[in-house]
Structure 1
Amino acid sequence: MDFTPLSRFIDHITSWRIPWAEVLVIHRNETVFRYRNGCADLEEKTPIDDRRIINLYSLTKIMTCAAGLQLVEKGAVLLQDPLSAYLPEYAEMTVKKTLPDGTVALEKAERPIAVRDLFAMTAGFSYDLGAPSIRDVVRRTEGKVPTREFAAALAKEPLLFEPGTRWNYSLCHDVLAALVEVVDGRTFGAYVREQITEPLGMRDTGFDLSGEQLSRLAPQYEYNDALGKPVRKDGNGFRIGTSFESGGAGLLSTVSDYALFLNALTNLGTSPDGVRILSPVSVELMRTDHLIEEMRGDFSWVQLAGYGYGLGVRTHISKAESGSLSPHGEFGWSGAAGCLAIIDPASRLTVMYAQHLLNNQEPYVHPRLKNIVYGCL
């Protein structure tokens, strides 16, 4: 293995517009390459180091779906169950429908939201955190927004389509976090900590930081095209309340820590030292393509050509369409500040890539990074 092209690529993007980048490559449970370049703090010229904590944003979704699948394994829920069996406020939903004259009307939903729809992004939700009911719960809870109350508020908003008929990237996994709370009885953060992160030895992953961890939180940037440089933009805009443990975008972690979780999935649910968080059949279900043909046009991001969507993850289904060097069945997801997870059981390969830049250049960086990694093996 020669990872020189990968280090050169990291050098290239950090000399371009990304303040820092880091990549960790695990093959057959051994770290075979790790490289980073750039400044964690541009103002102070602080080099990036291996203990920096970042906002994972949507990489959270993989862990949320793993938590949900644990409940499936226990028989606590079934994917085909109606969501309203656990969250009663979802019993009667309305759907926005465009009438022949072009006007939009609200009609009673004909299909119930199923638990599976939360995993697969097919419930009909939007990603509008400024919706009236969401603004109201922020005000009513004085900025706390407990996860369960967030889900109750979202149920007041009309759906964009009949559940199970379309795909839309949305707040599904935030509702899934609330489902875990209701079924299990613990807060979502406590469940994740006690069932996933602590057993795997992940000490720097969670929804809230200690004082010591806060001192290691990497500054966050957004590239300003007018100024021609990144500008500081800290905070997580998806965390709309101090008590909101967002299953869609709320976790913070380090490269080393989150790689422990990703590598357990590469090993079909069990860590190298024998900690099992999911069964192999659950991981296979997670990375199975759950899109029906009517949804293909909805899942149309250019960097995900040739991929289907499983339970919270992209999954590689067509090399001809993707042009990717990864095998079929390679899966994972990414986050708003540019981090990327590559999980590949067939190759026994785990990749955790991190940066902390909003407007993250994902369509350029991620497909290239992936091909370079496989080309180096």
Structure 2
Amino acid sequence: MDFAPLSKFIDRITAWRIPWAEVLVVHRNETVFRYRAGCADLEANIPIDEDRIIYLYSLTKIMTCVAALQLVEKGAILLGDPISEYLPEFTEMTVRKQQEDGGHATEPAQHPITVRDLFTMTAGFSYDLASPSLRDALKRTDGKMTTREFATALAQEPLLFEPGTRWNYSLCHDVLAALVEAVDGRRFSLYVRDEITGPLSMADTGFHLSEAQLGRLAPQYEYKDELGKAVRMDGNWYRLGSEFDSGGAGLLSTVSDYARFLNALTNRGTSPEGARILSAASIDLMRTDHLTARTRGDYNWAHHAGYGYGLGVRTHVSEAGSGSLSPLGEFGWSGAAGSFAIIDPESQLTVMYAQHLVNNQEPYVHPRLKNIVYSCLEK
């Protein structure tokens, strides 16, 4: 293995517009390469270091789906169940319909939202964090809206389409976290700690940081073209209130910590130390393509060409379509500030890539990084 091309790529993108970047490569449970470059704090000129905590944003979604799949394994829920069995506020939903005059009206939904719809982004939700019901709930709770209160508020908004008929990247996994709370009884952050991060010895991963951990939180940036530089932009704008455990974007972690979780999935649900968080059968279900003839056209992000969508993850289904050097069945996801996960049981490969830039250059960075990693394995 020769990872020189990977380090050169990290050097190139951090010399370009990304303040810092780090990549960790685990092969057959051994760390075979780790490299970081750039400054965690541009103003103070502080280099990126190993223990920096970052916002994972949508990389949270993988862990939320693992948490819900644990309930599937326990027989507590089924993918085909209507979510109204657990979250009754979703019993009578409406769908927004466009009228001939260009206006909109709402009609009763003909189909219930199912648990599967939450996993697969087919529930009909949007990603509008400023919708009237959410704004009202945040105001009513004085900024302390809980995960369950979030779901109750979202249920008041009309759906964009009939559940199950389209794919739309949305707040589905935030509702999935509320469903886990409703079924299990624990607050979502406590469930995740007890059932996933605790067993995997992930001390630096969670929805809420201690004072000591806050001191290790990396500054976050946005690149301003008009200024020709990255400008500090701290905060997680997906976190609606101090008590909201966002299953879609709320986790914070370090590169080392989250790689432990990703590697357990690479090992088909069990850590190298023997802590099992999912069965191999659940891992295979997770990375199965769940898109249908009706929904496939909606999953049209150019840098995900050749990929299907599983239970909260991209999953590689066509080498010809993707142009990717990874094998079929490789899966993972990414986050709004540019973090990126590769999970590959066939190659026994785990990759955790991190950066902290909200206009993240994901379509450029991630496919290239992936191909470089796999080419380096062959050298």
Q: Do the structures match in fold with TM over 0.5?
A: yes
Partner of 1:171: 171
Partner of 1:93: 93
1:144 aligns with 2:144: yes
Partner of 1:5: 5
| Partner Cα distance (1:116, 1:140) in 2 | 31
Q: Gaps spanning 5+ residues in structure 2: where?
A: none
Q: CA deviation at 1:122?
A: 0.4
Q: Which 10-residue stretch deviates more, 97-106 or 114-123?
A: 97-106
User: What is the letter of the counterpart of residue 343 of structure 1?
Assistant: I
User: What is the letter of the counterpart of residue 158 of structure 2?
Assistant: P
Secondary structure of the 1:66 match is helix
CA offsets 1:70-113 (integer angstroms, 9 cap, x no match): 00000000010000000001001000112344332200000000
Q: How do 1:251-330 and structure 2 match up within 5 A?
A: 251-330=251-330
Partner of 1:105: 105
Normalised TM-score (structure 2) = 0.99
Partner of 2:201: 201
Secondary structure of the 1:230 match is strand
Partner of 2:51: 51
User: What is the letter of the counterpart of residue 139 of structure 1?
Assistant: K
1:343 aligns with 2:321: no
Q: CA deviation at 1:296?
A: 1.7
Secondary structure of the 2:191 match is helix
Partner of 1:216: 216
The count of aligned residue pairs is 377
Q: CA deviation at 1:260?
A: 0.3
Q: How do 1:343-362 and structure 2 match up within 5 A?
A: 343-362=343-362
Partner of 2:14: 14
Partner of 2:77: 77
Secondary structure of the 1:292 match is coil
CA offsets 1:5-40 (integer angstroms, 9 cap, x no match): 000000000000000000000000000000000000
User: What is the letter of the counterpart of residue 223 of structure 1?
Assistant: Y
Normalised TM-score (structure 1) = 0.99
| Partner Cα distance (2:173, 2:167) in 1 | 13
| Partner Cα distance (1:297, 1:358) in 2 | 27
Secondary structure of the 2:297 match is coil
Q: Which 10-residue stretch deviates more, 289-298 or 126-135?
A: 289-298
Percent of residue pairs bearing the same amino acid type: 75
| Partner Cα distance (1:174, 1:84) in 2 | 15
CA offsets 1:45-93 (integer angstroms, 9 cap, x no match): 1010010000000000000000000000000000100000000010010
User: What is the letter of the counterpart of residue 258 of structure 1?
Assistant: Y
Q: CA deviation at 1:293?
A: 1.6
Secondary structure of the 2:334 match is coil
Partner of 2:233: 233
Secondary structure of the 1:357 match is coil
Q: CA deviation at 1:358?
A: 0.6
Partner of 2:42: 42
Q: CA deviation at 1:135?
A: 0.2
1:372 aligns with 2:366: no
Secondary structure of the 1:263 match is helix
Q: Which 10-residue stretch deviates more, 171-180 or 287-296?
A: 287-296
CA offsets 1:177-210 (integer angstroms, 9 cap, x no match): 0000010000000000000001000000000111
Structure 1 ranges of 4+ moved more than 6 A: none
- Aligned-residue RMSD, C-alpha: 0.6
CA offsets 1:223-279 (integer angstroms, 9 cap, x no match): 001001000000000001000000000000000000000000000000001000000
CA offsets 1:144-171 (integer angstroms, 9 cap, x no match): 0100000000000000000000000000
Secondary structure of the 2:34 match is strand
User: What is the letter of the counterpart of residue 245 of structure 1?
Assistant: D
User: What is the letter of the counterpart of residue 210 of structure 1?
Assistant: S
Secondary structure of the 2:69 match is helix
| Partner Cα distance (2:79, 2:49) in 1 | 41
| Partner Cα distance (1:89, 1:81) in 2 | 15
Partner of 1:183: 183
Secondary structure of the 1:64 match is helix
| Partner Cα distance (1:353, 1:82) in 2 | 36
Partner of 1:24: 24
User: What is the letter of the counterpart of residue 295 of structure 1?
Assistant: T
Q: CA deviation at 1:297?
A: 1.8
User: What is the letter of the counterpart of residue 279 of structure 1?
Assistant: S
User: What is the letter of the counterpart of residue 201 of structure 2?
Assistant: G
| Partner Cα distance (2:62, 2:44) in 1 | 34
Partner of 1:126: 126
| Partner Cα distance (2:13, 2:224) in 1 | 16
User: What is the letter of the counterpart of residue 130 of structure 2?
Assistant: G
| Partner Cα distance (1:296, 1:290) in 2 | 9
| Partner Cα distance (2:134, 2:246) in 1 | 13
| Partner Cα distance (1:174, 1:103) in 2 | 29
